[in-house]
Structure 1
Amino acid sequence: MKAVGIILAGGNNNRMGELSRKRAIPAMPVGGSFRCIDFVLSNMSNSHVQTVAVLTQYNSRSLNEHLSSSKWWDFGRKQGGLYLFTPTVTAENSDWYRGTADAMYQNIDFLKNRHEPYVIISSGDCVYKMDYNDLLEFHIAKKADITIACKDMPADADVSRFGVVRMNEDSRITDFEEKPLVAQSNTISTGVYIIRRRQLIEILEKSAEENRFDFVTDVLVRYRNVKRVYGYKLNSYWSNIASVDDYFRTNMDFLKPDVRKYFFREEPKIYSKVDDLPPAKYNMGSDVSNSLIASGCIVNGRVENSVLFKKAFVGKNCVIKNSIILNDAYIGDNTHVENCIVESHGTLRANTFYSGDDAVRIVAENNERYML
């Protein structure tokens, strides 16, 4: 494909609460065995984008470890590869990334040294499948300067935290509002853009001169009536992980047969880093219904409508309902967990009760499991 990929994965999100204190949002576990960034990386690979740059910053250790080898997404090529860029202190600059546009500007040499005519820009915190070749063909056919992948949301969805767009009958975007108080449309930007590489370099350099640092507000919104900006409709599953409720709902969507089939069975596949773990083990007394149980798990109790990530342990006589148990969590005997997200490596003592009554509860217990 004649495009280079850029994945924006460095932002901080306070709406994720305890979940984002030790990891970046793109590193959040999703669907039992994936990380959030796996979806956009797989889309890049499946679309034959050979060169991809991931821009990381906030709590990037877990994400960098996950991306330590590019072979899982088939980027280990002589002509291309997977690049990780974090803020770097130089003689000219010592700033952190001050926004998405600034993050790309600080790595503008990467863009200048490439030969591909187009750039695909995507955020790393969304769960979806997309063939970027279709997006590029649309972009070329419309003779667009910038093309934004858009999604029609349900009428009752809260779109005030997204970029809301309005398009004419030719799919040209006539209005773009970032996080409006009152939305005039239910069509949102999915955070996927395509633009000519040379034009992006010019825009980034001009934005830097004017101390404008955000790609949405300082480029897309500002240039919407100056450049030819078009919207490409995405009609398949798409979810953005921007809050605890979004994260909980997205994982629960994987318990639906159609969503599970779409991501686990249908081509193209979603790829992830593979751990050498044994299959899940179900001991006497276990009872599992409508749940995802990842490899390395040991289940001794009842699990219902829940997602258990890798190496989770469920003790005897436990009840896990409508919950998400993250990697390597230990649930002691006779423990009841309902409507909760149990943080990774956490240890819940035996004979305890956890329940999210009015909202999803995050359980982050750091008890020493070997001294229980």
Structure 2
Amino acid sequence: MKAIGIILAGGNNDGRLGALTEQRASAALPIGSCYRAIDFTLSNMSNSGIGKVAVLTQYNSRSLRDHLTSSKWWDFGRKQGGLFVFTPYTSSTGNDWFRGTADSIYQNMTYLMRSNEEYVVIASGDSIYKMDYRDAVNYHIQKGADITVVYQNMEGRDLSYFGIMQLDEEQRLLGFEEKPEQAQTSSASLGIYIISRKLLIELLQKVVPQGGYGLVKDIIIPFRSSLKIYGYEFKGYWSTIGTSVSDYFATNMDFLKKEVRDIFVRQYPFIETKPKDEPPAKYNAGAEVSDTIVGSGAIFNGKVEHSVVFRKVYTAEDSVVRNSILMEGTRIGKGCVIENAILDKDVEISDGQRVIGKSMQEPVVLKKGTKL
């Protein structure tokens, strides 16, 4: 496909994810026992035939950059194109932090200038879905659109975290509300945009020097009348982890549903990730593990049910884990009870401790490296 990709992985999220993003970008958050959030957008780009992708990151980017050290896992290890990771420019005279989504692309304008592809697919790095962007690009071409915004009908969901679109019968954009208290429609933008490379350069050069730093606030909303902006409806599974801790928890728990899990691991093309060389999980005598997805290298001695367990987790005898997420290297002592909880990487729980959240909608979070 004659398109390049841009993945927005700034990672700040205004503190909505609390301790989970104190030391990592939201795009680097673990998902479904073996993935990172960015794996889904990266795989979508590769599976859609996009061979040149830029990842724009800023806050707490070390773990994300480590994950992207080798691009071959997503088939970006190539002479032409490939994977590019951009961070804000720093020099002896200062640094230029990205001031918004439009500004982050503007500061890396050479990526656009040195490309020859006709279209640009822009997507966020913290959404969980599988999509062939070729369908959206073909729709964009058929409509003769200047910009296409991918959206989903989210009737019945909390829409206060989303950009809400008003569309006419032809799917042309009439209005766009950013995070409204009372939404007029249920057509929520998924943060995926299709635009021609030349038009994107032209718009960025027009708005950013004038203090317009956001793609939505300073391009889509002001130009909705003068440009032909259309909505493209995506009807597949889609979830975001960047809005709240409860959404991150719920997205991981979705992987316990066979119909959701199969989308990513059993239906071609698959979602790829950077592999880890660990032995298979080990279930010792007395271990009871049910309704749980398990990462490699985990060792179980206690009871675990309805949970997501990542690699190298250890649970001791007589321990009970329910409705929880245990990240890499977590160790649970003897006789512990863990329920409605998110235990970040390398958390250690000593014998006899109880860590219980209010509910699955309000899980308790122990930050990375906590020793209890």
Task: For 2:371 and 2:347, locate their aligned partners in 1 and report how far apart those are by CA, in whole Å.
Answer: 9
1:78 to partner: Cα distance? 1.2
One-letter amino acid of the counterpart of residue 294, structure 1: G
Partner of 1:190: 190
Report the equivalent of 1:161: 161
**Aligned counterpart, 1:30:** 31
Q: 1:154 offset after TM fit, Å?
A: 3.0
Partner residue in 1 for 2:356 = 355
Q: Report if aligned partners of 2:344, 2:369 keep a CA contact under 8 Å in 1.
A: no
The residue number in structure 2 matching 1:224 is 224
Aligned-partner residue type, residue 160 of structure 1: S
The alpha carbon displacement at 1:94 in A equals 2.8
Aligned to 2:275: 274
After superposition, what is the alpha-carbon deviation per residue over 1:7-51, rounded to whole angstroms, capped at 9, x for unaligned? 000130211011000110000000110000000000000001000
SS for the counterpart of 1:151 is strand
Q: Which residue of 1 aligns with 2:170?
A: 170
Distance between the aligned counterparts of 2:329 and 2:280, measured in 1? Answer: 14
Deviations 1:283-321 (A, max 9, x none): 111001111011111111100000001111111111000
**Partners of 1:364 and 1:192 in 2: CA distance:** 31
CA contact (8 A) 1:348 1:365 kept: no
Query: How far apart, CA to CA, are the structure 2 residues paired with 1:120 and 1:17?
Result: 30
Task: Give 1:78-227 correspondences, 5 Å limit.
Answer: 78-89=79-90, 94-155=95-156, 157-227=157-227
- Could you say what secondary structure the match of 1:75 adopts? coil
SS at match of 1:49: coil
Paired with 1:24 and 1:136, the residues of 2 have a C-alpha distance of 28
In structure 1, the residue matched to 2:261 is 260
Query: Does structure 1 conserve the Cα–Cα contact (< 8 Å) formed by 2:159 and 2:188?
Result: yes
| Secondary structure in 1 matching 2:60 | coil
Match of 1:315 in 2: 316
Letter aligned with residue 179 of structure 2: K
User: By how many angstroms is 1:93 displaced?
Assistant: 7.4
Alpha-carbon distance in structure 1 between the residues aligned to 2:346 and 2:93? 41
8 Å Cα contact 2:130/2:263 also seen in 1? no
What is the distance in 2 between the residues matched to 1:365 and 1:138? Answer: 43
Query: Secondary structure at 1:165's aligned position in 2?
Result: strand
2:66 aligned residue: 65
Deviations 1:184-225 (A, max 9, x none): 011100010010001000111111221111111111111111
Distance 1:220 1:365, change over 3 A: closer
SS in structure 1 of the partner of residue 231 of structure 2: strand
Work out whether residues 349 and 367 of structure 1, in 8 Å CA contact, stay in contact via their aligned partners in 2: no
Deviations 1:107-142 (A, max 9, x none): 001100100010000000100011011011000000
- Which structure 2 segments of 5+ residues have no match? none
Give the equivalent residue in structure 2 for 1:286. 287
TM alignment of 1:293-304, pairs within 5 A: 293-304=294-305
- Map residues 324-335 of structure 1 onto 2, 5 A cutoff: 324-335=325-336
The Cα shift of 1:3 comes to 0.3
Q: Secondary structure at the match of 1:223?
A: coil
Which amino acid counterpart does residue 329 of structure 1 have in structure 2? T
2:311 alignment partner AA: K
Q: Deviation string for 1:146-170 (max 9, x for gaps)?
A: 0011001132x11011000011111
Q: How many residues align?
A: 368
Tell me the distance in 1 between the aligned counterparts of 2:305 and 2:6: 39
* Identity among equivalent pairs (%): 48
Q: CA deviation at 1:366?
A: 3.8
Q: Is the 8 A contact 2:315 2:331 kept in 1?
A: yes
Whether the 8 Å contact between 2:346 and 2:370 is mirrored in structure 1 is no
Task: Give the 5 Å matches for 1:3-82.
Answer: 3-13=3-13, 14-82=15-83
Contact persistence 2:345–2:369 (CA under 8 A): no
| Contact kept in structure 2, 1:347 and 1:365, CA below 8 Å | no
Instruction: Provide the rounded CA distance (Å) in 1 between the counterparts of 2:59 and 2:36.
Output: 16
Q: 1:4 deviation in Å? A: 0.4
CA drift of 1:333 comes to: 1.2
Moved more, 57-66 or 146-155: 146-155
Q: Distance in 1 between matches of 2:368 and 2:226?
A: 52
Structure 1 residue ranges without an equivalent (≥5): none
In structure 2, give the amino acid aligned to 1:162.
F
Q: Which amino acid aligns with 2:31?
A: V
- Name the amino acid aligned to 1:60: S
Residues 345 and 368 of structure 2 are in contact (CA less than 8 Å); yes or no, is this contact kept in structure 1?
no
Q: Distance in 2 between matches of 1:266 and 1:251?
A: 19
Distance 1:225 1:142 in 2: 16
